[in-house]
Amino acid sequence: MLKQSFFRRLAAMLAVLHVLMVVQVPMASASMVGTAEVLYEQQQRLDRQQLLSMLEDQGVQEKLQAMGVDRSQVAERINSLTNAELAQFNQQLSEAPAGAGVVGVIVLFLVIFIITDMLCATDIFSFVKCINR
């Protein structure tokens, strides 16, 4: 009888543990990923890489150094751009005249700095006021 009582308690404890383990398992969901979504994500990745590759240009690096801006800061900010901002910058860059390559890139980076200053992410320019305060 003692043995039977022990097995009943053990079975009840195991049943409770089993229920607790099942409750904690999250439900998995699967859905189809559209081709447009994949292409959009790939385009964003390419756009970001294109901007980062422009940092390798010697003229751009010299201009950034003359302005006292570190190349790693620019790369970090490019990586933190939203997809909409990235698309807007690449659109502006593609519409820029061919001779304005280095100047266009410098202006692009200045706009990035001003936007991050406005969003209180950085404090580079004293004339830019934070909009979140």
> In this structure, is residue 10 part of a structural domain?
no
| Each residue's pLDDT tens digit, 60-78 | 777 777 777 777 887 887 7
From the centroid of its chain, how far is CA 107? Answer: 22
The contacts of residue 52 (CB under 8 Å, 6+ apart) are 75, 78, 79
CA 60 – CA 54 distance, rounded (Å):
7
Q: What is the pLDDT of residue 111?
A: 78
> In this structure, is residue 107 part of a structural domain?
yes
Length of the chain: 133
Task: For residue 101, name the pLDDT band (cuts at 50, 70, 90).
Answer: low
Task: For residue 100, name the pLDDT band (cuts at 50, 70, 90).
Answer: low
Burial of 15 (0-12, 13-18, 19+ CB in 10 A): exposed
> In this structure, is residue 94 part of a structural domain?
yes
| This model's pTM is above 0.85 | no
Full domain range(s) for residue 92? 35-118
Counting the structural domains of the chain, the total is 1
| Each residue's pLDDT tens digit, 31-63 | 777 788 877 888 888 878 877 787 787 777 777
> In this structure, is residue 83 part of a structural domain?
yes
> In this structure, is residue 84 part of a structural domain?
yes
DSSP state of 2: H
Q: What is the pLDDT of residue 53?
A: 80
